[in-house]
Amino acid sequence: MTTKDTSLSLVAYDPTFLELSWNWLNDSEIKKMTHTPDFTRDEQHAWFAGLASKTDYKIWGLQYNGKPIGVCGLKKITGTDAEYWGYIGEKQYWGIGLGSAILQLIESEAAKAGLYSVWLSVIPENIRAIRLYRKNGYTEENQQGDLLIMRKRI
């Protein structure tokens, strides 16, 4: 891990991240790449209020050098696996290698939770993300509708 990567950390997803996420997920490119549906402010706040009671879902803010830059998490958590999802919302931090650091942090959380594998879904047009996942040991499992499913044993 480089010095740069050690400055990236998972932190509590708090109202600051909630507000930033509104902007990040309404950016047309991020919205498409993360296959995010339309949502309203009210729906977003209702979703946030429901987070504490979810047992199969974990969410973190991504902080880089003290600055909130994105969000990631694990969903559909079973006794053995979970689906990773994530995005860097601040685009100036794309393409500098932080994606691998995010995956390492998430895989470490998944291992701590006793999971054996992590899977994800990605649109085939998201070349940057697919390169990142392949480089980090994720392999194609199948195609579900418009989404490519990839998985890694951890």
Ligand X SMILES: CC(C)(COP(=O)(O)OP(=O)(O)OC[C@H]1O[C@@H](n2cnc3c(N)ncnc32)[C@H](O)[C@@H]1OP(=O)(O)O)[C@@H](O)C(=O)NCCC(=O)NCCS
Q: How many CB atoms lie within 10 A of CB 28?
A: 7
> Applying CB under 6 A, which of residues 122, 138, 150, 152 lies at the interface with ligand X?
122
Question: Distance of CA 61 to CAs 11, 31, 50, 70, Å?
Answer: 5, 17, 17, 6
By CB under 6 A, residue 150 contacts ligand X: no
Residue closer to ligand X by CB (options 46, 75) is 75
Query: Does 77 interact with ligand X (rule: CB under 6 A)?
Result: no
**Which residue stretch of 2-10, 40-48, 75-83, 90-98 sits at the interface with ligand X (rule: CB under 6 A)?**
90-98
* CA-based end-to-end distance of the chain: 18
User: Applying CB under 6 A, does 82 fall inside the site for ligand X?
Assistant: no
Per CB under 6 A, the list member of 4, 45, 75, 128 interacting with ligand X is 128
Radius of gyration of the chain (CA): 15
Directed axis angle between helix 15-26 and helix 41-50, to 10°?
A: 140
Site for ligand X, rule CB under 6 A: 30, 33-34, 87-88, 94-100, 122, 126-129, 131-132, 135
